[in-house]
Amino acid sequence: MPAAQTLSPAELADILAFYAEAGVDCALDEVAHDRFAEGAFPASALPEGGAVTQRASGDTADAPSGQSAPRRVLSRAPAVAPEAPRPALAAASLGADAAAAYAGELAASARTLDDLRAALASFDGCALKAGAKNLCFADGNPAGRIMLVGEAPGEDEDRQGLPFVGVSGQLLDRMLAAIGLSRAEHVYIANIVPWRPPGNRTPTTQEMLACRPFIVRQIELANPDILVTIGGPSSQALLDVKGIMAARGRWLTYNVGGREIPAMPMLHPAYLLRSPIAKRQAWADLLSLKARHDALPHRP
């Protein structure tokens, strides 16, 4: 690739658009790092033979008739596998069912939320982990009577390791404050998927299935009196709701360890930021949530 100074503004814009589409949408450092050269396998430790290859400049993305384009050898690969598989490899090697079964075992073995966080941190069955900076486990008060479950962390959440701290999280806080609730006191917050999907795309069904046992266990351990699913994906994953616009604001039930609790799908604050007209519906749902919360019997 030519040096940056020799690129025209239009070429630079094309490259940035390419990065954004690939999920590379924030700069983490002033200079680029060549992670391939950085020593997972130092060249001196590599035996002869084997090759890691990269598409040579001038290769087309799709070679005619499905054949591979010519490849240029960059460095040698090790003849023996490294001791521990890297997360992306481990995730890729597990099928969706196996990943969900493994997640189920790990989640079931957790006796506390701290255990569960540790179990999730050790779980390599979801490929999103490999591209995320941080695990976003939860925020708010685990003893709060309302639990909110969103979709997946975004860029700010990934950087801070906390759910709902970016612009949509700030709107969520204002929405809660408008009905006298706060995450410091009344609300515990998590996501269906605790690692950021690249480019903030919606998590795939496979990613949600792999992580689902953890959020189910997290709800069990937090044991809230009211569950609110935020947005379509978490409403579908936890309440089997199809079509958030039709389902929002309806009270359903969710089974927490044998106890039926009221559960409501709500519109996602990111959607409200894009479609402020829907704030009217969100306000009606918030008032309904407030009424349910205030009608809860006192805890002994």
The site for ligand URA (CB under 6 A) is made up of 150-154, 157, 163-164, 166, 168-169, 191, 231, 270
Q: How far is the CB of 166 from ligand URA (least distance, A)?
A: 6
Residue with smaller CB distance to ligand URA, 94 or 147: 147
Instruction: Name the one residue in this structure whose structure tokens are 């299935």.
Output: 209
Q: How far is the CB of 162 from ligand URA (least distance, A)?
A: 8
Name the token pair of 78: 């090790």
The residue type of 101 is A
Residue at shortest CB range from ligand URA: 150
Q: Which helix (H) or strand (E) holds 93?
A: helix 87-93
Side-by-side strand order, sheet with 187-191? 139-140, 187-191, 146-150, 226-230, 259-266, 252-256
Q: How far is the CB of 297 from ligand URA (least distance, A)?
A: 30
Q: How far apart are CA 227 and CA 148, in angstroms?
A: 6
Residue with smaller CB distance to ligand URA, 144 or 169: 169
Q: How far is the CB of 161 from ligand URA (least distance, A)?
A: 11
Residue with smaller CB distance to ligand URA, 147 or 152: 152
Residue with smaller CB distance to ligand URA, 94 or 269: 269
Residue with smaller CB distance to ligand URA, 25 or 59: 25
Q: How far apart are CA 20 and CA 92, in angstroms?
A: 23
Residue with smaller CB distance to ligand URA, 140 or 213: 140
Q: How far is the CB of 235 from ligand URA (least distance, A)?
A: 11
Residue with smaller CB distance to ligand URA, 90 or 286: 286
Q: Do 73 and 53 meet the contact criterion of CB atoms below 8 Å apart?
A: yes
Q: How far is the CB of 230 from ligand URA (least distance, A)?
A: 6
Angle CA(265)–CA(268)–CA(269) in degrees, nearest 5?
A: 140
Q: How far is the CB of 121 from ligand URA (least distance, A)?
A: 17
Pairing state between β 259-266 and 252-256? antiparallel
Question: Strands, E, within the chain: which ranges?
Answer: 52-55, 71-75, 139-140, 146-150, 187-191, 226-230, 252-256, 259-266
